[in-house]
Each structure stands twice: as structure tokens, then as C-alpha cells.
């Protein structure tokens, strides 16, 4: 479990860097919430494959891929609310708001993603995704 937590953290850093780079790129043309949502969705796809391969060492299946957004539902709600509060309530600016807001969502995301990526041993085998 400690290896998974450490790997999850490294994947999280890569995912956050990807998200933040995309967020800043989209922020040049889109309102901050649209930039946040689009960057979040794209980085979530990358996160699925990185976590399947490196964190949980499991085959990426269509079922897991389709369920994986559930792992980020809490993350999405927490970070979106956090970005809104930081920008519109606290007037702290939109540039670093996503980084601050995402820190609170990390533990919840790990617990939920582990449940989806590593189903119980008695589960029916799933077809792997083809590349």
C-alpha cells in the first residue's frame, strides 16, 4: 500500500503539472472555469492510464475507464468549489487558485480510485482496452 501511495503521489504531481499547463494555456482564450473544466477532463484521461500502469499495475479496461471519472467526481467538486471561492469570494486571483484548491481533494481521490482500479478478487474478468 505504501508503494501505491508514493506512486499515486508521483502520478499526481505529473497530472497536476499537466493540468496546470493546460489550464494556463486555455486561460489565454477561455474564462477561468471553462479553462479549469477542459484542463481537468484532459488530464483525467492521462491520469487513468498512468495510475493503471504505474500505481495499481492493472490492465486498463473499458469498465475501469468508464468508472474512473467517478474517482475524480469528488476531486472535481472540491477543486471547482475551491477555485470559485478563491477567485470570486476571496478575490485571490485565478492563476494559482487550482493548485490551492486541489490539495484538499487528493486523499479522497486516492481512496476512490483504489476501489475502482483494484476491484475485489471475486469480480468477473473484464476485457482489456486495445491500443
Supply the pLDDT for residue 109. 83
With a CB cutoff of 8 Å and minimum separation 6, the contacts of 39 are 19, 20, 22, 23, 25, 26
Averages of pLDDT over runs of 10 residues in the chain (131 residues) are 88 91 97 94 94 94 91 84 92 87 80 85 51 52
Supply the pLDDT for residue 102. 82
User: Angle of helix 106-117 relative to helix 2-27, nearest 10 degrees?
Assistant: 120
Q: Cβ distance 69 to 87 under 8 Å? A: no
Distance, first Cα to last Cα, the chain:
28
Supply the pLDDT for residue 104. 73
Supply the pLDDT for residue 122. 37
Supply the pLDDT for residue 131. 52
Amino acid at each position: 500500500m505504501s508503494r501505491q501511495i508514493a506512486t499515486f503521489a508521483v502520478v499526481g504531481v505529473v497530472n497536476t503539472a499537466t493540468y496546470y499547463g493546460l489550464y494556463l494555456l486555455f486561460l489565454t482564450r477561455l474564462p477561468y472555469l471553462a479553462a479549469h473544466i477542459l484542463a481537468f477532463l484532459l488530464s483525467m484521461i492521462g491520469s487513468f492510464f498512468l495510475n493503471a500502469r504505474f500505481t495499481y499495475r492493472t490492465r486498463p479496461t473499458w469498465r475501469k475507464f468508464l468508472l474512473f471519472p467517478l474517482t475524480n467526481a469528488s476531486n472535481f467538486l472540491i477543486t471547482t468549489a475551491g477555485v470559485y471561492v478563491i477567485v470570486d469570494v476571496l478575490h485571490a486571483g485565478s492563476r494559482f487558485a487550482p493548485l490551492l484548491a486541489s490539495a484538499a481533494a487528493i486523499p479522497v481521490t486516492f481512496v476512490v480510485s483504489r476501489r475502482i482500479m483494484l476491484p475485489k478478487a471475486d469480480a468477473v474478468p473484464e476485457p482489456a482496452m486495445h491500443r
